[in-house]
Chains A and B, each alone.
Chain A
Amino acid sequence: MRKPFIFVILSLLILAWMTLNNLVDDWGRLEGGWENLTTFVSESMWPPNWSVIEAQSYPVCEKDIEFFCSVGYLGMLETLKIAFVSTILGFIGALCLSSFAARNLMPMYIAIPFRLILAATRSLPSLIWAIIFVIVIGYGPLAGVLAMTFYTVGYLGKLQYETFEGMPSDALEVSKAMGLSHTTKFTSVVIPETGNHLLSQLMFMFEYNVRHGTVIGIVGAGGIGYYISTYLRFLQYDKVFALLIIIFVVVVLIDLLSLMVRSFVTDEGDVRKPTWLKEMMKLYQSRKASSEQ
Protein backbone atom coordinates (compact mmCIF):
# COMPACT_ATOMS: atom_id res chain seq x y z
CA MET A 1 0.00 0.00 0.00
CA ARG A 2 2.86 2.34 0.93
CA LYS A 3 5.03 1.83 -2.16
CA PRO A 4 2.37 2.78 -4.74
CA PHE A 5 1.51 5.83 -2.63
CA ILE A 6 5.14 7.01 -2.55
CA PHE A 7 5.43 6.29 -6.28
CA VAL A 8 2.33 8.42 -7.03
CA ILE A 9 3.60 11.32 -4.87
CA LEU A 10 7.06 11.18 -6.50
CA SER A 11 5.55 11.06 -10.00
CA LEU A 12 3.36 14.08 -9.21
CA LEU A 13 6.37 15.98 -7.86
CA ILE A 14 8.41 15.20 -10.99
CA LEU A 15 5.49 16.25 -13.21
CA ALA A 16 5.13 19.51 -11.26
CA TRP A 17 8.88 20.17 -11.55
CA MET A 18 8.87 19.54 -15.29
CA THR A 19 5.89 21.88 -15.73
CA LEU A 20 7.58 24.60 -13.66
CA ASN A 21 10.79 24.19 -15.62
CA ASN A 22 8.78 24.67 -18.78
CA LEU A 23 7.22 27.86 -17.41
CA VAL A 24 10.42 29.47 -16.13
CA ASP A 25 12.75 30.75 -18.86
CA ASP A 26 15.57 32.05 -16.66
CA TRP A 27 16.43 30.50 -13.28
CA GLY A 28 19.14 33.11 -12.88
CA ARG A 29 16.46 35.54 -11.69
CA LEU A 30 16.40 33.75 -8.34
CA GLU A 31 19.93 34.95 -7.75
CA GLY A 32 19.93 37.81 -5.25
CA GLY A 33 16.20 37.33 -4.53
CA TRP A 34 16.68 36.75 -0.83
CA GLU A 35 18.91 39.83 -0.58
CA ASN A 36 16.28 41.94 -2.36
CA LEU A 37 13.62 40.69 0.04
CA THR A 38 15.64 41.43 3.18
CA THR A 39 16.55 44.89 1.89
CA PHE A 40 12.90 45.62 1.07
CA VAL A 41 11.64 44.40 4.47
CA SER A 42 14.37 46.09 6.55
CA GLU A 43 14.36 49.40 4.71
CA SER A 44 10.73 49.87 3.66
CA MET A 45 8.46 47.67 5.79
CA TRP A 46 10.16 47.29 9.17
CA PRO A 47 9.24 48.50 11.71
CA PRO A 48 5.48 48.62 11.05
CA ASN A 49 4.16 52.16 11.28
CA TRP A 50 1.49 52.09 14.01
CA SER A 51 0.25 55.57 13.20
CA VAL A 52 -2.49 53.67 11.36
CA ILE A 53 -4.17 53.03 14.73
CA GLU A 54 -4.01 56.70 15.69
CA ALA A 55 -6.72 59.22 14.81
CA GLN A 56 -6.63 60.60 11.26
CA SER A 57 -5.85 64.29 10.92
CA TYR A 58 -9.07 64.82 8.98
CA PRO A 59 -11.99 64.62 9.77
CA VAL A 60 -11.48 65.78 13.37
CA CYS A 61 -11.95 62.94 15.85
CA GLU A 62 -14.89 63.51 18.19
CA LYS A 63 -14.54 60.24 20.06
CA ASP A 64 -12.89 59.81 23.47
CA ILE A 65 -10.63 57.02 22.29
CA GLU A 66 -8.46 57.99 19.30
CA PHE A 67 -8.26 54.41 18.04
CA PHE A 68 -11.91 54.56 16.92
CA CYS A 69 -11.01 57.34 14.46
CA SER A 70 -8.00 55.52 13.04
CA VAL A 71 -7.51 54.19 9.52
CA GLY A 72 -6.86 50.69 10.89
CA TYR A 73 -10.11 50.56 12.87
CA LEU A 74 -12.40 52.30 10.35
CA GLY A 75 -11.01 50.35 7.38
CA MET A 76 -11.14 47.01 9.17
CA LEU A 77 -14.65 47.69 10.47
CA GLU A 78 -15.90 48.49 6.98
CA THR A 79 -14.22 45.37 5.59
CA LEU A 80 -15.80 43.27 8.35
CA LYS A 81 -19.23 44.77 7.61
CA ILE A 82 -18.86 44.11 3.86
CA ALA A 83 -17.65 40.56 4.53
CA PHE A 84 -20.42 39.87 7.07
CA VAL A 85 -23.29 41.07 4.87
CA SER A 86 -22.00 39.39 1.72
CA THR A 87 -21.27 36.12 3.54
CA ILE A 88 -24.79 35.95 5.00
CA LEU A 89 -26.51 36.90 1.72
CA GLY A 90 -24.21 34.61 -0.26
CA PHE A 91 -24.74 31.71 2.16
CA ILE A 92 -28.54 31.92 1.87
CA GLY A 93 -28.38 32.31 -1.92
CA ALA A 94 -25.97 29.37 -2.17
CA LEU A 95 -28.22 27.14 0.01
CA CYS A 96 -31.19 27.83 -2.26
CA LEU A 97 -29.23 26.92 -5.39
CA SER A 98 -27.17 24.03 -4.00
CA SER A 99 -30.26 22.18 -2.72
CA PHE A 100 -31.26 21.86 -6.38
CA ALA A 101 -27.71 21.14 -7.60
CA ALA A 102 -27.01 18.05 -5.45
CA ARG A 103 -27.43 14.83 -7.41
CA ASN A 104 -28.71 12.87 -4.41
CA LEU A 105 -31.51 15.41 -3.87
CA MET A 106 -32.55 16.16 -7.43
CA PRO A 107 -32.60 14.32 -10.76
CA MET A 108 -29.72 15.14 -13.12
CA TYR A 109 -31.88 17.20 -15.52
CA ILE A 110 -32.57 19.66 -12.68
CA ALA A 111 -29.15 19.44 -10.98
CA ILE A 112 -27.10 20.23 -14.10
CA PRO A 113 -28.61 23.68 -14.89
CA PHE A 114 -28.17 24.73 -11.24
CA ARG A 115 -24.57 23.53 -11.29
CA LEU A 116 -23.99 25.60 -14.41
CA ILE A 117 -25.41 28.72 -12.71
CA LEU A 118 -23.10 28.16 -9.73
CA ALA A 119 -20.10 27.53 -12.01
CA ALA A 120 -20.85 30.76 -13.91
CA THR A 121 -20.91 32.90 -10.74
CA ARG A 122 -17.77 31.18 -9.47
CA SER A 123 -15.78 31.47 -12.67
CA LEU A 124 -15.39 35.25 -12.21
CA PRO A 125 -13.04 36.03 -9.29
CA SER A 126 -14.37 38.48 -6.68
CA LEU A 127 -11.93 41.10 -8.01
CA ILE A 128 -13.56 41.02 -11.45
CA TRP A 129 -17.03 41.12 -9.86
CA ALA A 130 -15.83 44.17 -7.89
CA ILE A 131 -14.63 45.91 -11.06
CA ILE A 132 -17.99 45.17 -12.74
CA PHE A 133 -20.00 46.56 -9.82
CA VAL A 134 -17.73 49.61 -9.42
CA ILE A 135 -18.45 50.33 -13.11
CA VAL A 136 -22.19 49.70 -12.66
CA ILE A 137 -22.89 51.48 -9.35
CA GLY A 138 -19.72 53.43 -8.64
CA TYR A 139 -17.10 53.39 -5.86
CA GLY A 140 -18.01 52.33 -2.32
CA PRO A 141 -18.98 49.49 -0.02
CA LEU A 142 -22.18 48.54 -1.92
CA ALA A 143 -20.09 47.50 -4.92
CA GLY A 144 -17.96 45.42 -2.52
CA VAL A 145 -21.00 43.77 -0.95
CA LEU A 146 -22.51 42.83 -4.31
CA ALA A 147 -19.20 41.57 -5.70
CA MET A 148 -18.50 39.36 -2.72
CA THR A 149 -22.11 38.13 -2.50
CA PHE A 150 -22.01 36.91 -6.10
CA TYR A 151 -18.67 35.19 -5.61
CA THR A 152 -19.81 33.68 -2.28
CA VAL A 153 -22.91 32.17 -3.94
CA GLY A 154 -20.78 30.39 -6.55
CA TYR A 155 -18.01 29.30 -4.21
CA LEU A 156 -20.14 28.22 -1.23
CA GLY A 157 -22.74 26.67 -3.54
CA LYS A 158 -20.16 24.22 -4.90
CA LEU A 159 -18.86 23.36 -1.42
CA GLN A 160 -22.43 22.88 -0.20
CA TYR A 161 -23.69 20.57 -2.96
CA GLU A 162 -20.54 18.46 -2.66
CA THR A 163 -21.17 18.21 1.10
CA PHE A 164 -24.79 17.16 0.50
CA GLU A 165 -23.68 14.54 -1.99
CA GLY A 166 -21.16 13.17 0.51
CA MET A 167 -23.62 12.75 3.39
CA PRO A 168 -24.63 9.23 4.48
CA SER A 169 -27.46 8.03 2.27
CA ASP A 170 -29.57 6.10 4.81
CA ALA A 171 -31.45 9.05 6.36
CA LEU A 172 -32.14 10.43 2.86
CA GLU A 173 -33.38 7.05 1.66
CA VAL A 174 -35.77 6.81 4.60
CA SER A 175 -37.17 10.27 3.89
CA LYS A 176 -37.56 9.36 0.21
CA ALA A 177 -39.35 6.11 1.06
CA MET A 178 -41.61 7.96 3.53
CA GLY A 179 -42.52 10.47 0.82
CA LEU A 180 -41.24 13.64 2.52
CA SER A 181 -41.32 16.77 0.36
CA HIS A 182 -38.11 18.28 -1.03
CA THR A 183 -38.34 21.19 1.41
CA THR A 184 -38.84 18.96 4.47
CA LYS A 185 -36.10 16.61 3.32
CA PHE A 186 -33.73 19.53 2.88
CA THR A 187 -34.54 21.50 6.02
CA SER A 188 -35.12 18.59 8.41
CA VAL A 189 -32.69 15.93 7.20
CA VAL A 190 -29.96 17.42 5.02
CA ILE A 191 -29.27 20.63 6.97
CA PRO A 192 -29.13 19.05 10.47
CA GLU A 193 -26.99 16.19 9.12
CA THR A 194 -24.48 18.47 7.39
CA GLY A 195 -24.74 21.40 9.83
CA ASN A 196 -21.18 21.09 11.05
CA HIS A 197 -19.75 21.27 7.52
CA LEU A 198 -22.08 24.11 6.56
CA LEU A 199 -21.05 26.16 9.60
CA SER A 200 -17.40 25.43 8.94
CA GLN A 201 -17.80 26.56 5.32
CA LEU A 202 -19.70 29.66 6.43
CA MET A 203 -16.93 30.66 8.83
CA PHE A 204 -14.26 29.87 6.23
CA MET A 205 -16.09 32.02 3.70
CA PHE A 206 -16.39 34.89 6.18
CA GLU A 207 -12.66 34.70 6.83
CA TYR A 208 -12.04 34.46 3.05
CA ASN A 209 -14.24 37.49 2.42
CA VAL A 210 -12.41 39.47 5.13
CA ARG A 211 -9.08 38.68 3.47
CA HIS A 212 -10.45 39.40 0.00
CA GLY A 213 -12.04 42.58 1.26
CA THR A 214 -8.50 43.95 1.15
CA VAL A 215 -8.12 43.07 -2.52
CA ILE A 216 -11.45 44.38 -3.74
CA GLY A 217 -10.87 47.56 -1.74
CA ILE A 218 -7.94 48.23 -4.05
CA VAL A 219 -10.30 48.65 -7.03
CA GLY A 220 -12.49 51.05 -5.05
CA ALA A 221 -15.02 48.72 -3.46
CA GLY A 222 -14.45 50.06 0.06
CA GLY A 223 -12.88 48.66 3.22
CA ILE A 224 -9.31 48.44 4.47
CA GLY A 225 -8.11 47.68 0.93
CA TYR A 226 -8.78 51.27 -0.04
CA TYR A 227 -6.21 52.47 2.56
CA ILE A 228 -3.75 49.72 1.59
CA SER A 229 -3.92 50.78 -2.06
CA THR A 230 -3.45 54.44 -1.05
CA TYR A 231 -0.35 53.64 1.05
CA LEU A 232 1.03 51.41 -1.72
CA ARG A 233 0.65 54.27 -4.19
CA PHE A 234 2.67 56.56 -1.88
CA LEU A 235 5.23 53.77 -1.19
CA GLN A 236 4.39 53.80 2.56
CA TYR A 237 5.10 50.08 2.99
CA ASP A 238 5.54 50.35 6.78
CA LYS A 239 1.89 51.45 7.09
CA VAL A 240 0.82 48.66 4.70
CA PHE A 241 2.68 46.19 6.93
CA ALA A 242 0.87 47.48 10.04
CA LEU A 243 -2.50 47.06 8.29
CA LEU A 244 -1.53 43.51 7.20
CA ILE A 245 -0.78 42.67 10.85
CA ILE A 246 -4.24 43.97 11.82
CA ILE A 247 -5.82 41.74 9.12
CA PHE A 248 -3.82 38.75 10.38
CA VAL A 249 -5.03 39.30 13.97
CA VAL A 250 -8.65 39.57 12.80
CA VAL A 251 -8.32 36.36 10.71
CA VAL A 252 -6.94 34.48 13.73
CA LEU A 253 -9.84 35.78 15.87
CA ILE A 254 -12.35 34.60 13.25
CA ASP A 255 -10.68 31.17 13.29
CA LEU A 256 -11.14 30.98 17.08
CA LEU A 257 -14.76 32.06 16.70
CA SER A 258 -15.27 29.35 14.08
CA LEU A 259 -13.86 26.73 16.45
CA MET A 260 -16.27 27.86 19.16
CA VAL A 261 -19.33 27.95 16.88
CA ARG A 262 -18.64 24.50 15.41
CA SER A 263 -18.23 22.92 18.85
CA PHE A 264 -22.00 23.26 19.27
CA VAL A 265 -22.74 20.86 16.44
CA THR A 266 -19.87 18.36 16.52
CA ASP A 267 -19.49 15.19 18.58
CA GLU A 268 -16.54 16.99 20.15
CA GLY A 269 -19.01 19.17 22.03
CA ASP A 270 -20.30 16.10 23.88
CA VAL A 271 -17.02 15.72 25.72
CA ARG A 272 -16.49 18.44 28.28
CA LYS A 273 -12.92 19.62 27.97
CA PRO A 274 -11.42 21.77 30.74
CA THR A 275 -11.08 25.39 29.64
CA TRP A 276 -7.82 27.25 30.28
CA LEU A 277 -9.72 29.65 32.58
CA LYS A 278 -10.98 26.78 34.77
CA GLU A 279 -7.50 25.27 34.89
CA MET A 280 -6.01 28.62 35.95
CA MET A 281 -8.68 29.01 38.63
CA LYS A 282 -7.92 25.52 39.94
CA LEU A 283 -4.20 26.32 40.07
CA TYR A 284 -4.89 29.62 41.82
CA GLN A 285 -7.17 27.97 44.39
CA SER A 286 -4.72 25.14 45.12
CA ARG A 287 -1.88 27.65 45.59
CA LYS A 288 -4.05 29.81 47.82
CA ALA A 289 -5.01 26.76 49.91
CA SER A 290 -1.37 25.65 50.29
CA SER A 291 -0.22 29.18 51.26
CA GLU A 292 -2.97 29.37 53.89
CA GLN A 293 -1.79 26.10 55.39
Chain B
Amino acid sequence: MVLEDISIGYNTVLASEISARVHPGEVIAVLGPSGIGKTTLIRTIAGLVEPIDGDVELNVEKRGGLGYIPQKLGLVRHASVYHNVNLGARASLPVIKGGSEERKKRVNSALVALNIEEKTTEPVRRLSGGQLRRVATARALAQRPKLLLADEFLSELDHNTVDVVIDAVKELLDAGASIIMVEHHEENVELLATRVWLIEGEKLLDYSIEEWRNRVGEEE
Protein backbone atom coordinates (compact mmCIF):
# COMPACT_ATOMS: atom_id res chain seq x y z
CA MET B 1 0.00 0.00 0.00
CA VAL B 2 1.28 3.45 -0.87
CA LEU B 3 0.29 6.83 0.60
CA GLU B 4 1.46 9.62 -1.66
CA ASP B 5 1.70 13.01 -0.06
CA ILE B 6 -1.80 12.87 1.38
CA SER B 7 -3.52 15.35 3.67
CA ILE B 8 -6.23 14.04 5.96
CA GLY B 9 -9.11 15.63 7.86
CA TYR B 10 -12.75 16.56 7.54
CA ASN B 11 -13.29 20.31 7.40
CA THR B 12 -9.82 21.18 8.66
CA VAL B 13 -6.52 19.47 7.88
CA LEU B 14 -5.46 17.17 10.72
CA ALA B 15 -2.20 15.98 9.15
CA SER B 16 -0.54 16.68 5.82
CA GLU B 17 2.33 15.59 3.57
CA ILE B 18 1.87 11.98 4.62
CA SER B 19 3.90 9.62 2.43
CA ALA B 20 4.46 6.01 3.41
CA ARG B 21 4.55 2.45 2.12
CA VAL B 22 3.40 -0.76 3.77
CA HIS B 23 5.00 -4.07 2.72
CA PRO B 24 3.48 -7.57 3.13
CA GLY B 25 3.90 -8.98 6.63
CA GLU B 26 4.44 -5.59 8.26
CA VAL B 27 2.49 -4.43 11.31
CA ILE B 28 2.25 -0.68 11.67
CA ALA B 29 1.16 0.81 15.00
CA VAL B 30 -0.33 4.30 14.57
CA LEU B 31 0.29 6.35 17.70
CA GLY B 32 -0.48 9.87 18.83
CA PRO B 33 -2.63 11.77 21.30
CA SER B 34 -6.44 11.67 21.09
CA GLY B 35 -8.01 13.75 18.31
CA ILE B 36 -4.76 14.01 16.33
CA GLY B 37 -6.16 12.10 13.32
CA LYS B 38 -5.28 8.42 13.83
CA THR B 39 -8.82 7.17 13.16
CA THR B 40 -9.19 9.64 10.28
CA LEU B 41 -6.02 8.21 8.72
CA ILE B 42 -7.38 4.66 9.00
CA ARG B 43 -10.76 5.72 7.58
CA THR B 44 -9.01 7.51 4.72
CA ILE B 45 -7.03 4.37 3.87
CA ALA B 46 -10.29 2.33 4.09
CA GLY B 47 -11.85 4.64 1.48
CA LEU B 48 -14.51 5.92 3.88
CA VAL B 49 -13.14 9.47 3.90
CA GLU B 50 -11.68 11.20 0.85
CA PRO B 51 -8.15 12.53 1.40
CA ILE B 52 -8.09 16.34 1.22
CA ASP B 53 -5.03 16.03 -0.98
CA GLY B 54 -2.94 13.24 -2.51
CA ASP B 55 -3.61 9.60 -3.37
CA VAL B 56 -4.07 6.33 -1.53
CA GLU B 57 -2.93 3.35 -3.58
CA LEU B 58 -4.11 0.16 -1.93
CA ASN B 59 -2.90 -2.52 -4.39
CA VAL B 60 -5.35 -5.07 -2.97
CA GLU B 61 -8.40 -6.68 -4.52
CA LYS B 62 -11.49 -4.47 -4.33
CA ARG B 63 -13.61 -7.36 -3.00
CA GLY B 64 -12.27 -8.79 0.24
CA GLY B 65 -8.73 -7.44 -0.08
CA LEU B 66 -9.16 -4.94 2.72
CA GLY B 67 -10.26 -5.85 6.26
CA TYR B 68 -11.51 -3.27 8.74
CA ILE B 69 -12.16 -3.41 12.48
CA PRO B 70 -13.41 0.02 13.60
CA GLN B 71 -13.51 1.21 17.21
CA LYS B 72 -17.21 0.33 17.43
CA LEU B 73 -16.43 -3.00 15.71
CA GLY B 74 -19.18 -2.67 13.08
CA LEU B 75 -20.95 -5.91 13.92
CA VAL B 76 -24.53 -6.68 12.90
CA ARG B 77 -26.05 -6.59 16.38
CA HIS B 78 -29.25 -8.46 15.62
CA ALA B 79 -27.56 -11.30 13.76
CA SER B 80 -25.73 -14.34 15.12
CA VAL B 81 -21.99 -14.71 15.69
CA TYR B 82 -21.82 -17.11 12.71
CA HIS B 83 -23.60 -14.62 10.44
CA ASN B 84 -21.11 -11.89 11.35
CA VAL B 85 -18.03 -14.04 10.85
CA ASN B 86 -19.48 -15.42 7.62
CA LEU B 87 -19.71 -11.86 6.27
CA GLY B 88 -15.92 -11.77 6.29
CA ALA B 89 -15.75 -15.04 4.32
CA ARG B 90 -18.40 -13.78 1.89
CA ALA B 91 -16.35 -10.66 1.18
CA SER B 92 -13.46 -12.65 -0.27
CA LEU B 93 -15.47 -15.68 -1.45
CA PRO B 94 -18.73 -14.24 -2.86
CA VAL B 95 -21.75 -16.56 -2.82
CA ILE B 96 -22.22 -16.00 -6.54
CA LYS B 97 -18.90 -17.76 -7.17
CA GLY B 98 -19.86 -20.83 -5.11
CA GLY B 99 -17.30 -22.12 -2.61
CA SER B 100 -19.74 -22.62 0.26
CA GLU B 101 -17.62 -25.46 1.71
CA GLU B 102 -14.51 -23.27 1.77
CA ARG B 103 -16.50 -20.48 3.41
CA LYS B 104 -17.80 -22.84 6.10
CA LYS B 105 -14.29 -24.12 6.73
CA ARG B 106 -12.91 -20.59 7.08
CA VAL B 107 -15.70 -19.49 9.43
CA ASN B 108 -15.39 -22.56 11.67
CA SER B 109 -11.61 -22.32 11.90
CA ALA B 110 -11.88 -18.58 12.72
CA LEU B 111 -14.44 -19.32 15.45
CA VAL B 112 -12.16 -21.99 16.92
CA ALA B 113 -9.06 -19.77 16.69
CA LEU B 114 -10.83 -17.00 18.61
CA ASN B 115 -12.31 -19.44 21.09
CA ILE B 116 -15.94 -18.47 20.42
CA GLU B 117 -17.20 -21.65 18.78
CA GLU B 118 -19.67 -22.15 21.64
CA LYS B 119 -21.34 -18.82 20.85
CA THR B 120 -21.96 -19.60 17.17
CA THR B 121 -25.74 -19.23 17.23
CA GLU B 122 -25.86 -16.50 19.87
CA PRO B 123 -27.07 -13.04 18.72
CA VAL B 124 -24.17 -10.62 18.88
CA ARG B 125 -26.14 -8.18 21.04
CA ARG B 126 -25.96 -10.62 23.96
CA LEU B 127 -22.15 -10.85 24.04
CA SER B 128 -19.71 -9.11 26.38
CA GLY B 129 -17.22 -6.46 25.19
CA GLY B 130 -14.34 -8.93 25.00
CA GLN B 131 -16.41 -11.49 23.10
CA LEU B 132 -17.49 -8.80 20.63
CA ARG B 133 -13.86 -7.96 19.87
CA ARG B 134 -13.16 -11.62 19.29
CA VAL B 135 -16.08 -11.84 16.85
CA ALA B 136 -14.79 -8.81 14.93
CA THR B 137 -11.32 -10.38 14.77
CA ALA B 138 -12.82 -13.71 13.66
CA ARG B 139 -14.62 -11.86 10.86
CA ALA B 140 -11.28 -10.47 9.67
CA LEU B 141 -9.64 -13.90 10.00
CA ALA B 142 -12.39 -15.54 7.91
CA GLN B 143 -11.98 -12.80 5.30
CA ARG B 144 -8.19 -13.24 5.04
CA PRO B 145 -7.56 -9.71 3.76
CA LYS B 146 -4.22 -8.57 2.36
CA LEU B 147 -4.38 -5.43 4.48
CA LEU B 148 -6.16 -5.23 7.85
CA LEU B 149 -7.01 -1.86 9.38
CA ALA B 150 -7.74 -2.15 13.09
CA ASP B 151 -8.73 0.74 15.33
CA GLU B 152 -7.90 0.03 18.99
CA PHE B 153 -8.99 -3.58 18.60
CA LEU B 154 -6.89 -4.76 21.58
CA SER B 155 -8.22 -2.21 24.05
CA GLU B 156 -10.42 -3.26 26.98
CA LEU B 157 -9.28 -6.89 26.67
CA ASP B 158 -7.91 -9.03 29.47
CA HIS B 159 -4.47 -10.63 29.02
CA ASN B 160 -5.81 -14.05 28.06
CA THR B 161 -8.08 -12.61 25.38
CA VAL B 162 -5.24 -10.42 24.04
CA ASP B 163 -3.15 -13.61 23.64
CA VAL B 164 -6.00 -15.36 21.77
CA VAL B 165 -6.49 -12.36 19.45
CA ILE B 166 -2.75 -11.92 18.84
CA ASP B 167 -2.37 -15.61 17.91
CA ALA B 168 -5.27 -15.25 15.43
CA VAL B 169 -3.76 -12.11 13.91
CA LYS B 170 -0.39 -13.86 13.55
CA GLU B 171 -2.16 -16.43 11.34
CA LEU B 172 -3.09 -13.58 9.02
CA LEU B 173 0.48 -12.27 9.01
CA ASP B 174 1.80 -15.74 8.19
CA ALA B 175 -0.51 -15.72 5.17
CA GLY B 176 1.26 -12.54 3.95
CA ALA B 177 -1.17 -9.88 5.18
CA SER B 178 -0.11 -6.53 6.61
CA ILE B 179 -1.79 -4.69 9.46
CA ILE B 180 -2.19 -1.04 10.32
CA MET B 181 -3.46 -0.69 13.87
CA VAL B 182 -4.30 2.35 15.94
CA GLU B 183 -3.02 1.86 19.49
CA HIS B 184 -2.79 3.66 22.79
CA HIS B 185 -1.05 1.03 24.86
CA GLU B 186 2.72 0.68 24.61
CA GLU B 187 2.64 -3.02 25.61
CA ASN B 188 0.35 -3.86 22.66
CA VAL B 189 2.75 -2.08 20.29
CA GLU B 190 5.57 -4.27 21.59
CA LEU B 191 3.46 -7.41 21.08
CA LEU B 192 2.89 -6.99 17.35
CA ALA B 193 4.33 -3.89 15.67
CA THR B 194 7.26 -3.95 13.29
CA ARG B 195 7.00 -0.20 12.63
CA VAL B 196 5.44 2.84 14.28
CA TRP B 197 3.74 5.81 12.68
CA LEU B 198 3.58 8.68 15.12
CA ILE B 199 1.29 11.58 14.24
CA GLU B 200 2.78 14.68 15.80
CA GLY B 201 2.33 18.35 14.93
CA GLU B 202 0.27 17.61 11.78
CA LYS B 203 3.06 15.34 10.46
CA LEU B 204 3.48 11.56 10.29
CA LEU B 205 6.82 10.31 11.62
CA ASP B 206 7.79 6.81 10.45
CA TYR B 207 9.95 4.71 12.82
CA SER B 208 11.19 1.14 12.68
CA ILE B 209 10.41 -0.66 15.94
CA GLU B 210 14.07 -0.39 17.01
CA GLU B 211 14.14 3.36 16.32
CA TRP B 212 10.89 3.69 18.28
CA ARG B 213 12.29 1.80 21.26
CA ASN B 214 15.36 4.08 21.22
CA ARG B 215 13.17 7.17 21.17
CA VAL B 216 11.06 5.88 24.06
CA GLY B 217 14.24 4.93 25.96
CA GLU B 218 15.70 8.42 25.45
CA GLU B 219 12.47 10.09 26.59
CA GLU B 220 12.45 7.98 29.76
Contact = CB atoms under 8 A, between A and B. Distances in A.
Contacts of A177: 46-48, 66-68, 149
B180 to A, nearest CB: 12
A193 B65 contact: no
B74 A195 contact: no
A179 B73 CA distance: 16
Nearest to A192: B79
Main secondary structure, interface of A, reads helix
A285 interface: no
A270 B61 CA distance: 40
Interface in A182-198: 184, 188-189, 192-193, 195-196
A189 B95 CA distance: 15
Q: Main SS of the interface on chain B?
A: loop
Contact of B87 (A168, A189, A267, A270): A189
Nearest to A178: B91
Contacts of B62: 179
A178 B63 CA distance: 6
A192 B126 contact: no
Given A171-B74, A192-B83, A195-B78, A180 B47 contact: no
B56 to A, nearest CB: 12
Contacts of B108: none
Nearest to A171: B74
A171 B76 contact: yes
B100 to A, nearest CB: 14
A170 interface: yes
Interface string B86-101: 0110110011100000
A168 B71 CA distance: 13
B137 interface: no
Interface string B33-63: 0000000000100111000000000000111
A177 B62 CA distance: 9
A173 B70 contact: yes
Nearest to A181: B94
Interface string A194-216: 01100000000000000000000
A282 interface: no
A124 interface: no
6 contacts: A171-B77, A177-B47, A179-B65, A192-B78, A192-B79, A196-B78
Interface of B: 43, 46-48, 61-70, 72-79, 83, 87-88, 90-91, 94-96, 125-126, 143, 145, 149
Given A173-B68, A174-B74, A188-B83, 12 more contacts: A171-B74, A173-B48, A178-B67, A178-B87, A178-B88, A179-B91, A180-B91, A184-B94, A188-B79, A192-B76, A195-B78, A265-B78
